[in-house]
Structure 1
Amino acid sequence: MICYIVYFQVENVKLLDRFNIRKPCTGTLYLTTTHLIFIDNDGKKECWILHSHMSSVEKLAITTAGCPIQIRCKNFMNITFLIHRERDSHDIYTSLMELSKPDDIENLYAFQFSTQDSMPKSFGWSHFDLQSEYLRMGAPNKNWVMSNLNLEYELCDTYSKYIFVPAVASTPVIMGSSKFRSRGRLPALSYLHRENQASISRCSQPLSGFSARCVEDEQMLQAVLKSNPNSKYMFVVDTRPKINAMANKAAGKGYENENFYSNIKFQFLGIENIHVMRGSLQKLLEVCELKSPSMNSFLTGLENSNWLKHIKAVVDTSAFIATAVQEGINVLVHCSDGWDRTAQTCSLASLMLDPYYRTIQGFQALIEKEWLAFGHKFTDRCGFLSTVDSKENSPVFTQFLESVWQISQQFPCAFQFNERFLIAIHDHVYSCQFGTFIGNCEKDRIDLRLSERTYSLWGYVAQHINEFSNPLFKKEYELTHSILIPNTSPQCFKFWRGLYNRFENGIHPREPVMDILSANKDHSNSLEDHVALLEKRVTQICKLLGKSDDIIQRKLQGFLSVDSLDGILADHVDNNALPQKFLRSSLMSRSNVEERDATLESSLILGSPSTDLLTIDQLVSELKTVAIDWRSFRRVYNCTCAAPFDHYVKKFHCWKCGEIFCGRCITKNIPLPGHYSRRPVPVCKPCYLQVRSSPSPELPTS
């Protein structure tokens, strides 16, 4: 357990439930260096709020009952504490205002976070290599090469040091195009289709103004076109509404002049800017926070927020890009500076085109390439620091994750990861617990030496891979649905209750279907492993008793029948053989095993106490290490440690006792003696101590 320094604590604090105001939960509020922690007086309920998750802290009007403080979080938790004394309320408020928004990037949680797990800080940072990812796509080749002009970030300081450009583009053309593009973000390869050689490239808007032109930039786009000899033209997709792009001309920017670029088709696809998206999310959250909304008020509020309209615009644009590439046409994508809407659409289009990006490892590679290597202003957009203008905040990455979720709802068997995986990434982007998303570009992360000083989110994902696996995923789906173009009709888009209302337990089904499927799958695997072990034990015993292979096979076909097993030992019951009574009890229910005759406990199957053979005690212990019955998820709301199970928190079954625990009460990767494969499985901590102290040697095979 990690120790937290407690600044101060306040007792007799009430946690208000907006759905049940008359029955607040009373407990103690602890303010630590990293969390605000509430524990009720009975020790049955806990609430942990990370300071970096807090979006706003507000002191509400004082009432006769006390001084309320409302906390809204970036993970969409909305919680209110009622504090009895105004002085305590003021101290909590001022402390949270300071702790939730540090003014220095090195004061973020990632630089303080430590774990007692065996995971070193370096684990996860080397899981992705940009050059290897382009090599997987087929670059470099005769049409695309890696440029060395940005190795010191001199060409574009917000791009990766490794950028892939058309092979026919000369150094003057590359440099000239960079100077003509906003912030130097020149056209560079984003995705290459291995079969038809069509590509997605990305950049920022040109500095064209009302009349400016750049010959080198025109040559650069022609070089992008020539990289695909099978296409006579290419698309330039401007993801902005055309009126916004025209407005930028007044600032000397804008969009490409069709008179200067030949064999190019221009498309404006109308995704709104970061300010519109920020306001839209705020309206959506206001709808989510309604106490008892009517159907009409909820649907009206959802429509007025325009949130799903914006999600549809992002998916529509991405589908257009993916369809063009599927048809063998090159696409160049940009917005204003090429790190918001461009990142959304290029990554989603790649996801639609490439099944690899629908796996857990591939999705990490997609984020690393499109959002981290090409630069997205995570520090600014996510509001990590108090020194960043709040107008720079925007839910751009949240929209990307929701778009992926919307597509996964249409193709539930095509994705290796589940909803929890997307939510975990969303939460840890804002938590600053890992250094993966800190900084606005690759250069920022290198300057901060994040790979040396902080943990990687991908290392955490690797250690919790079973939590994020989709039980419906079918590997063979790649063959029949290698390209996914979703239906973008309005009725196909859903409200993502699991993200925006996941802390409201009363409005969710009792259990997520995916969790039930995963638990049933795990339980089946456990029982199959146990059956295989029993078959192995029966085979070993039969061989020791001199039975032929044919007899063994016949016995194995019905070995679950105790009567048939009695026949195996009918003529072999003596002081050195396995007694019939024990065999009966060991292959019946667990309760019968526990009621076995005490005199048999010290008997040996074969040999003497000095030999290294399996005793009855050891065999019984081995059989009891596997839970035959697992507890149902129904009506399990809290772990034994009082941690709540909300819609997002995964419930773990202990494979030994079958009870349910949270992640911090389970010990993972423990091989159970009662399993044939002995593969690592999750076990609760009390059971782990029993397993560790109960070795089980193998029977000899002859």
Structure 2
Amino acid sequence: MVAGSARRRQAKGSARRSRLKAEASRAASLPPSRDLARTPSPAAAKTGLRAVEAAPPTSELVARTQLRKRAAAQGLLGRGGASAPRKAPWDGRGRGPEVEQVKLLDRFSTSNKSLTGTLYLTATHLLFIDAHQKETWILHHHIASVEKLALTTSGCPLVIQCKNFRTVHFIVPRERDCHDIYNSLLQLSKQAKYEDLYAFSYNPKQNDAERLQGWELIDLTEEYQRMGVPNTNWQLSDANRDYKICETYPRELYVPRIASKPIIVGSSKFRSKGRFPVLSYYHQSKEAAICRCSQPLSGFSARCLEDEHLLQAISKANPANCYMYVMDTRPRLNAMANRAAGKVNGTKGLSVNDFYSGLESSGWLRHIKAVMDAAIFLAKAIAAESASVLVHCSDGWDRTSQVLIEKDWISFGHKFSERCGHLDGDPKEVSPVFTQFLECVWHLTEQFPQAFEFNEAFLLQIHEHIHSCQFGNFIGNCQKEREELKLKEKTYSLWPFLLDDQKKYLNPLYGSQSQKSAVLEPNTVSFNFKFWRNMYHQFDRTLHPRQSVFNIIMNMNEQNKQLEKDIKDLESQIKQRKNKQTDGILSKELLNSVRPESPALKATLSLKEQALLPVNDVLRTIEGSSPADNRYSEYADEFSKAEPAVVSLEYGVARMTC
């Protein structure tokens, strides 16, 4: 009896400890990311502590706090602080250091203000909770670098720079605690294998059918059919069905119908990484195509008969033109991009002069201009000359925006994991190529605000998730690698997540019939290229206070709707009173109801009138040096014509006649 009772007590104690450990692990884990990934409230933005992931709901905060307290009471989570015993570094089982009395410095305060709170390390996030219970979450995968500075009288400084252009500066009271956190973050920010990335543990509580439905949201076969292929000149090739010709290309490739399999195989052996010329875009009415490939292995001086036959087949697949263009983007574009990224990341000064001089010396905007110039040339070759274009660079890596990203970036093997530094690999492979693409799209939306159905927030959210590793879309370097990782079975797709909050990403200025031409012709004069504040300064709250352009536009839309309603009401009143008029004489009451001083018409001001009023909104916006400059009068006026300019293109073009 005694032995049985002891065994029962032991079993109950063991079960209780197991339950508490599970709760502790749950307390240290991330709340559902559908809540965390949403834009925080304006109040949170004003505090300067706005994280990419907003704080979870109050109920979850209470539950997590209770779990932490219960776990701490049982010794499952360490109690930090100067008087607490030292905690071991990260042990890989869902718990880590917790340090109290940590200071978070305000980088943009002239008086060196700081917030004191507690710093936690969870399995996926670094979490700072200040004295007001405000939480700052930093995803481990967003961390680009961690720097431990020299010890000061107030503690040990720890500077964390993130891939989403956020920088946080902590002061840890004890050097040994700072050292533990430093070593833990170095390990957690660079995983050794794909299975350790956040996407493999993220669970939005969807069943397998919903997960699969999310991955099938975009069908690339339908996209090619929309473009008009296959047809009499282009066919679907099964040459790469088992990735035997090129591991970094997708299984399904479109090639000229007259190109035989031996020609394709021979051309692949002549090209770097086996990336032979394949169809990327087809203009059905012009019968012109954009093809992509990598550089020849032996340079342009060498020759390959099969490769020449394939190029001739591409040219002949366009009966509307007897020549095609070969664009070489290697000469300066790639070197400029990597050099600019290095200089931008190395900028530490916060003064306005240092900031602008650093931006100028980085050459970043000059590179964006060069990419746009190359794109304009290519678009004009297709639309104006009906000429096909072959684009190639060093390794060839480089409709709706989702389909474009899925087809031309993900499917064709842009090395997201290497370029974004998802794993602990060669730092020389990290490059901001996809960020440049997003910025070029943003510049187009700035010049043509009515041409795109999505808004700036959509681009920013995509940029967040190429680094967050929360979804499987951007994990891996090619389709073959993604199939081997079984991402569609083990992770979730980003696109359904964005569509769930579709209203947030819609452009209120979009008009499907607003564009007179089907081809956009942006003006690439230098002054049209601006610094993208909401990308690179999205966490800076005091350096450049700005008013939100999006909020202004939404307010204008609401005002316009109210005015339209007022007009309809007045027209209805006029119609009713006309029916009551006798001898064609208007009553004094009717005249007063339609006077210009009518309160209904005076309640909302025009855009030009608003510009004269004082502005107290301190929210950020995209450009302007003062709130009065942010009224965007150009939205109301027609865009000025492009000024004549001599532009030096940063790419090589050869015209080939077949």
TM-score where L is the length of structure 1: 0.66
Post-superposition CA distance 1:96-140 (Å, at most 9, x none):
111110111110011111225799433421121121111000101
Whole-angstrom CA distance in 1 between matches of 2:504 and 2:563: 20
Sort the Cα spacing of 1:112 and 1:222 in 2 relative to 1 into closer, same or farther, 3 A: same
Match of 2:225 among 132, 135, 138: 135
Sort the Cα spacing of 1:312 and 1:646 in 2 relative to 1 into closer, same or farther, 3 A: closer
Q: 1:509: Cα distance to partner?
A: 4.2
Residue identity in the other structure for 1:333: V
Partner of 2:190: 101
Whole-angstrom CA distance in 1 between matches of 2:562 and 2:485: 45
Whole-angstrom CA distance in 2 between matches of 1:123 and 1:77: 34
- Whether the 8 Å contact between 1:128 and 1:365 is mirrored in structure 2 is yes
Q: Which moved more, 1:123-132 or 1:403-412?
A: 123-132
Residue identity in the other structure for 2:192: D
Residue identity in the other structure for 1:292: S
Whether 2:333 is the aligned partner of 1:271: answer: yes
Match of 2:379 among 322, 328, 338: 322
Post-superposition CA distance 1:434-457 (Å, at most 9, x none):
100000011111111111111111
- Whether the 8 Å contact between 2:545 and 2:620 is mirrored in structure 1 is no
Whether 2:109 is the aligned partner of 1:73: answer: no
Q: 1:635: Cα distance to partner?
A: 8.1
Partner of 1:231: 321
Task: Report runs of 4+ in structure 1 exceeding 6 Å deviation.
Answer: 522-529, 634-637, 645-648
Matches within 5 A, 1:319-358: 319-326=376-383, 327-340=385-398, 357=399
- Whether the 8 Å contact between 1:432 and 1:438 is mirrored in structure 2 is yes
Partner of 1:472: 509
Whole-angstrom CA distance in 2 between matches of 1:522 and 1:115: 34
Sort the Cα spacing of 1:485 and 1:528 in 2 relative to 1 into closer, same or farther, 3 A: closer
Whether 2:444 is the aligned partner of 1:384: answer: no
- Whether the 8 Å contact between 1:123 and 1:456 is mirrored in structure 2 is no
Matches within 5 A, 1:614-625: none
The percentage of counterpart residues that share the same residue type is 51
Whole-angstrom CA distance in 1 between matches of 2:153 and 2:296: 60
Match of 1:306 among 353, 360, 363: 363
Residue identity in the other structure for 1:282: G
- Whether the 8 Å contact between 1:503 and 1:646 is mirrored in structure 2 is no
Whole-angstrom CA distance in 1 between matches of 2:113 and 2:302: 67
Q: 1:520: Cα distance to partner?
A: 5.8
Whether 2:470 is the aligned partner of 1:413: answer: no
- Whether the 8 Å contact between 1:272 and 1:310 is mirrored in structure 2 is no
- Whether the 8 Å contact between 2:547 and 2:617 is mirrored in structure 1 is no
Sort the Cα spacing of 1:528 and 1:10 in 2 relative to 1 into closer, same or farther, 3 A: farther
Match of 1:218 among 308, 324, 332: 308
Match of 1:161 among 239, 251, 261: 251
Whole-angstrom CA distance in 2 between matches of 1:144 and 1:68: 61
Whether 2:351 is the aligned partner of 1:292: answer: yes
Partner of 2:86: none
Matches within 5 A, 1:58-207: 58-116=147-205, 120-207=210-297
- Whether the 8 Å contact between 1:146 and 1:162 is mirrored in structure 2 is yes
Partner of 2:402: 364
Residue identity in the other structure for 1:71: I
Partner of 1:515: 551
Partner of 1:485: 521
Partner of 1:500: 536
- Whether the 8 Å contact between 1:131 and 1:162 is mirrored in structure 2 is no
Aligned-residue CA RMSD (Å)? 2.9
Post-superposition CA distance 1:128-168 (Å, at most 9, x none):
11211110001011011110111111121111111000011
Sort the Cα spacing of 1:647 and 1:117 in 2 relative to 1 into closer, same or farther, 3 A: farther
Whole-angstrom CA distance in 1 between matches of 2:562 and 2:432: 42
Match of 2:136 among 47, 54, 70: 47
SS at match of 1:409: helix
Sort the Cα spacing of 1:105 and 1:200 in 2 relative to 1 into closer, same or farther, 3 A: same
Q: 1:390: Cα distance to partner?
A: 0.6
- Whether the 8 Å contact between 1:503 and 1:647 is mirrored in structure 2 is no
Q: 1:6: Cα distance to partner?
A: 4.8
Q: 1:528: Cα distance to partner?
A: 10
Sort the Cα spacing of 1:186 and 1:61 in 2 relative to 1 into closer, same or farther, 3 A: same
- Whether the 8 Å contact between 2:280 and 2:408 is mirrored in structure 1 is yes
Q: 1:183: Cα distance to partner?
A: 1.1
Sort the Cα spacing of 1:271 and 1:481 in 2 relative to 1 into closer, same or farther, 3 A: same
Residue identity in the other structure for 1:334: H
Residue identity in the other structure for 1:291: L
Match of 2:461 among 407, 424, 431: 424
Matches within 5 A, 1:18-37: 18-20=107-109, 21-37=111-127
Partner of 1:597: none
Partner of 1:678: none
Whole-angstrom CA distance in 2 between matches of 1:310 and 1:90: 39
Whole-angstrom CA distance in 2 between matches of 1:79 and 1:120: 37
Whole-angstrom CA distance in 1 between matches of 2:159 and 2:329: 37
Match of 2:474 among 411, 414, 437: 437
Whole-angstrom CA distance in 2 between matches of 1:85 and 1:398: 38
Residue identity in the other structure for 1:373: S
Matches within 5 A, 1:543-622: none
Partner of 1:446: 483
Whole-angstrom CA distance in 1 between matches of 2:620 and 2:453: 23
Whole-angstrom CA distance in 1 between matches of 2:235 and 2:432: 34
Partner of 1:655: none
SS at match of 1:505: coil
TM-score where L is the length of structure 2: 0.70
Post-superposition CA distance 1:580-601 (Å, at most 9, x none):
xxxxxxxxxxxxxxxxxxxxxx
Post-superposition CA distance 1:153-198 (Å, at most 9, x none):
1121111111000011112111211121111111111111121111
Sort the Cα spacing of 1:99 and 1:418 in 2 relative to 1 into closer, same or farther, 3 A: same
Partner of 1:9: 98
- Whether the 8 Å contact between 2:321 and 2:387 is mirrored in structure 1 is yes
Sort the Cα spacing of 1:47 and 1:646 in 2 relative to 1 into closer, same or farther, 3 A: farther
Residue identity in the other structure for 2:503: N
- Whether the 8 Å contact between 1:505 and 1:647 is mirrored in structure 2 is no
How many pairs are equivalent? 492
Q: 1:636: Cα distance to partner?
A: 9.1
Residue identity in the other structure for 2:113: K
Q: 1:428: Cα distance to partner?
A: 0.3
Sort the Cα spacing of 1:518 and 1:445 in 2 relative to 1 into closer, same or farther, 3 A: farther
- Whether the 8 Å contact between 1:110 and 1:433 is mirrored in structure 2 is yes
- Whether the 8 Å contact between 1:147 and 1:165 is mirrored in structure 2 is yes
